[in-house]
Chains A and B, each alone.
Chain A
């Protein structure tokens, strides 16, 4: 739903919206699961929405659904800025689902080769150094 700063200023306070546009994704329990601020072109906006749904599934412990959604982002938005983040979290979802620490090491390798300059590659680098592990 749209909330306009002039029409519903109380809602801005209630949800801590500091800037426009701000988008909050609330799950069916009314919990905030994802937030992003600032304008994005349509394709990037859709990628962010998909990331939000994937993170919501992750936050609720739905590892299968989260894994599937993160991988979908890596396929559908391969060149977008959210792709390396999705690769990272797909690896974590797989690890959570299987308890196989190799999933993390493989994810780190995948990030290093596909997205060498991403902050998510740096975050995952510890998994390669340790040969995997939840770090």
Chain B
């Protein structure tokens, strides 16, 4: 599984649509 980290949800979903890939949304409260 390849991962690519992004910050914009809509951009990530659009990227998933364009590349026909799944997108993982990781909701976190961990220190950044």
Contacts and interface: CB of A to CB of B under 8 A. Distances in A.
Interface in A19-60: 20-30, 33, 49, 52-53, 56
Interface residues of B, number: 23
A29 B17 contact: yes
Given A15-B25, A24-B25, A4 B5 contact: no
Interface in B1-32: 1, 5-9, 12-13, 16-17, 19-30, 32
A127 to B, nearest CB: 30
Contact of B32 (A4, A15, A33): A4
Given A21-B26, A28-B22, 15 more contacts: A1-B25, A1-B26, A3-B28, A11-B9, A17-B27, A21-B29, A22-B26, A24-B24, A26-B13, A26-B22, A26-B24, A27-B22, A28-B16, A30-B17, A53-B22
Interface of B: 1, 5-9, 12-13, 16-17, 19-30, 32
A52 B9 CA distance: 19
A29 B1 CA distance: 19
A26 B27 contact: no
Given A17-B27, A21-B28, A26-B25, A2 B20 contact: no
